[in-house]
Structure 1
Amino acid sequence: MPRPCQPLTACFAALALGLLGCGPDEGAHSSTRKDAMPEHSSGESIAILRLDARPNAPAIRVTSPAFSPDGMIPLRNSAYGDNWSPPLTWTAAPGAQSYALIVEDPDAPRAEPFVHWIAWNIPGDVTSLPENLSKAEKPGQPAGMIQGVNGAGETGWFGPRPPAGHGVHRYHFQLFALDGKLDIGPDAELQTLMNAMKGRIVAEGELVGRFEQKRPQ
Structure 2
Amino acid sequence: MSLDRPVTPDPYELLPAVPAFDVTSADVTDGQPLKQDQMYDAGNTSPQLSWEPGPEGTQSYVVTCFDPDAPIVSGFWHWVAVDIPADVTSLDTGAGASDDTLPDGAFHVRNDFSEQRFGGAAPPEGDQVHRYYFVVHAVKEPKLGVDSSASPAVVGFNLAFKTLARGMVVGTYQF
Q: Report the TM-score when normalising by structure 2.
A: 0.88
User: 1:130-209, aligned counterparts within 5 Å?
Assistant: 130-136=92-98, 138-180=99-141, 181-209=143-171
CA contact (8 A) 2:68 2:76 kept: yes
**Aligned residue in 2 for 1:113:** 75
Alignment of 1:21-36 (within 5 A): none
The change in CA–CA distance for 1:160 and 1:126 in structure 2 (over 3 A counts) is: same
Task: Name whichever structure is richer in strand by fraction.
Answer: 2
Amino acid corresponding to residue 95 of structure 2 in structure 1: L
- What is the percent sequence identity of the aligned residues? 31
Question: Per-residue displacement from partner, 1:98-142 (whole Å, max 9, x unpaired)?
Answer: 011221111111122111111110111111111112533x33531
Structure 2: gaps spanning 5 or more residues: none
Give the 3-state SS of the residue equivalent to 1:139 in structure 2.
helix
Measured in 2, the distance between the counterparts of 1:186 and 1:91 equals: 26
CA distance in 1, matches of 2:161, 2:74: 23
Residues 2-51 of structure 1 show CA distances to partners (whole Å, capped at 9, x for unaligned) of: xxxxxxxxxxxxxxxxxxxxxxxxx9xxxxxxxxxxxxx533222x3454
* Unaligned stretches of 5+ residues in structure 1: 1-26, 28-40
SS of 1:122's equivalent? strand
Query: Aligned in 2, Cα 1:71/1:133: closer, same or farther, shift over 3 Å?
Result: same
Q: Aligned pair in 2 of structure 1 residues 67, 191: CA closer, same or farther (>3 Å)?
A: closer
Does residue 45 of structure 1 match 2:10? yes
Q: Counterparts of 2:96 and 2:81 in 1: how far apart (Å)? A: 12
Separation of aligned partners in 2, 1:209 and 1:75: 12
* Alignment RMSD (CA, Å): 2.0
Indicate conservation of the 8 Å contact 1:51/1:197, yes or no.
no
TM-score (normalised: structure 1): 0.72
Question: Number of paired residues?
Answer: 170
